Amino acid sequence: MIDIKLIRENPEVVKQNILKKGQKDKVALVDKAVELDLKWRKEKKKADDLRSSRNKISEQINQLMKAKKQAEAKKLIKEAKEIPEKIIKIEVTTKKLEEEIRKIMMQIPNIIHESVPEGASSLENIPKEVIGEPKVPNYEIFNHAELAEKLGLADFDSSRKTSGQGFYFLKGDLARLHTAVLSYAREFMIEKGFEYIIPPVMIRSDVVDGVMSFEEKDAMMYKIENEDIYLIGTSEHSLIGMFKDKTLRKGEIPQKLTSYSPCFRKEKGAHGIEEKGLFRVHQFEKQEMVVICEPEDSYKWYDQMLKFNIEFFKKLGVPIRVLEICSGDLADLKAKSADVEAWSPRQRKYFEVGSCSNLTDAQARRLNIKINGGKGNYLAHTLNNTVVASPRILIALIENNQNKDGSINIPKVLQPYVGNKKKIGGK
């Protein structure tokens, strides 16, 4: 959520930002916000003037009573008694206006960074960097789902019976590989100086509204029936929510957090949810990194967090590329974002395995997360980045480490977490 002051002073800047994101239908929201804000300020001035008048009348009453002019004082007392009722009526109006303004402001996208490329959709995202050599072997790479089933390492038929499409059973060494990559990710981030946290996997609606747009909420979140609580789609939601209504001291900044959690997503309207496999699923597990920092440091942290990703995938030996997200594909609260994509030798293309985002002060404003700078409080900046999400990462590990006989080499850094095995599967 952006600052209302920006809309007051530079509404055209906000409108141009909306147009860059290809959301022409939201331009009218800016004019509506300006109109309602003007009404709110007028009503607020009325209430302030009445309070000032009440104070003056009170002083006059005191002077009249001292002068024993009780008849004149009674008239002013009657006038003074009417003022609180008038103030209450105005406060009802201003509260209603505040709610309308906030509802509109929650729909207006964050101001995107000047470096974000303009584009209408994901088709115009820009590859920025390729790390590792994207190889295609001279033998057939088996589909990850079919190979896992043949090796007895996954069961998709049973999961469809128990839970429906988009679920899975991981078994044996593949289940161990799944937990291995998450365990390694945890230790990797702890070594980078991040505090390890296991967060709640259910959060209240005010936290949901604080960390994501209405569109994302509708497409992603599972709500618990008859309760004001949702299953998280990523542990970033809980971690940012942990700081709701908090003011951090200078010495507590930056907050560097890494968390493990199961994640749940509806994937409403997502292509591929009906396909057998581990690419698009309703339940997965993830290691996340979150930073809460000074506003002037947020883009330094954005670059640093991407570097952590690159280093992590180098350790796994998985070729990746960094994809710069264009304006039209940028979620509303994000000022800048990049996807990390892993190489698929079977499909001969890259696929998303993570995302790094700077949300500047958008989440902090919604959740009232501030820093005490000594000379007053101001909003913090928040960032998040996927360290690794599994089982999707298993697709990259299976394909990039698959041998001709169908066995799968285990990356060296993961071997200590699977009983020092060097490969799984076979003919």
416 shares a domain with 298: yes
**Domain with 83 in it: what CATH number?**
1.10.287.40
Average pLDDT over residues 249-273: 86
- Per-residue pLDDT band for 335 (boundaries 50, 70, 90) equals very high
Q: DSSP 3-state assignment of 200?
A: coil
Total domain count for the chain?
2
Model-wide pTM > 0.85: yes
177 shares a domain with 100: no
CA-to-CA dists, residue 41 to 63, 103, 183, 214, 405, angstroms: 33, 17, 53, 27, 73
What tokens does 191 get? 């070594």
CA-to-CA dists, residue 2 to 84, 208, 270, 369, 379, angstroms: 34, 17, 29, 14, 11
pLDDT digits (tens, 9 = 90+) for 55-74: 888 888 788 777 877 777 77
Average pLDDT over residues 193-217: 94
214 shares a domain with 239: yes
CA distance 71 to 76: 9
Range of the domain at 150: 122-424
Does residue 254 have a cis bond before it (omega within 30 degrees)?
yes
Per-residue model confidence (pLDDT) at position 121? 93
Q: Write down the mean pLDDT value for the chain.
A: 93
- Residue 258's φ and ψ, nearest 5 degrees, are -130, 135
The answer to whether residue 113 sits within a structural domain is no
The answer to whether residue 111 sits within a structural domain is no
Per-residue model confidence (pLDDT) at position 98? 95
Average pLDDT over residues 30-44: 96
| Angle, CA of 365, 119 and 396, to the nearest 5° | 85
151 shares a domain with 69: no
The 8-class DSSP code of residue 277 comes to S
62 or 272, higher pLDDT: 62
Per-residue model confidence (pLDDT) at position 61? 79
Average pLDDT over residues 79-84: 84
335 shares a domain with 205: yes
- Per-residue pLDDT band for 272 (boundaries 50, 70, 90) equals low
Which long-range contacts does 297-303 make (Cβ < 8 Å, 24+ apart)? 297/254, 297/381, 298/358, 298/360, 298/381, 298/383, 299/113, 299/336, 299/358, 301/254, 301/358, 301/383, 302/336, 302/356, 302/358, 302/383
100 shares a domain with 131: no
pLDDT digits (tens, 9 = 90+) for 311-325: 999 999 999 999 999
**Domain with 247 in it: what CATH number?**
3.30.930.10
Cβ atoms within 10 Å, residue 306: 18
